[in-house]
Amino acid sequence: MVTGYNKAVELTVRIREDQAHMPIWPLLLLLTILLAVVSPWSMAARQAEDLDATVQYLITYVKESDVAFERNSSRYTGSEAAQHINKKYRHFRDDIDTPEKFIELCATGSLMTGKAYFIITGQGEQLPSGEWLNNELSVYRLRNEHGNR
């Protein structure tokens, strides 16, 4: 009986050793294929969500700003400018894949007249609106990079 027990233990040890030396590459290949299939979908969804959140932040920033917006030689409040920019965003949404593209297409100038948009600060300083919003985009990204939303 002891011989049978020893053979069973020896067999168990051999099986475990064989399993320990089984090639891991099939499992790694499967994992790689799964990641290649799933990652682009989740990344695209996250990027779309991040893009929309960033754009909405910038529109709200415009709306709540205390600067005047000059568009086609007329001045508008932040709220009026935000409405206009949001309207352009809805129109160009399919063409926008980055916040910079949003700023370029929706907040830098008139497509009808070709005139640039400007902001006028309380101190009377005039800045191109695209420069002003790109500055705020940089601040927003830094804040979010450090988790201070």
pLDDT in tens, 82-124: 999 999 999 999 999 999 999 999 999 998 999 999 999 989 9
pLDDT in tens, 40-53: 544 444 455 599 99
* pTM beyond cutoff 0.85: no
For residues 62 and 107, the answer to whether their CB atoms sit within 8 Å is: yes
What's the rounded Cα separation, in Å, for the pair 27 and 63?
Answer: 53
Give alpha helix (H) positions in 21-123: 25-64, 78-92, 99-106
pLDDT in tens, 50-70: 999 999 999 999 999 999 999
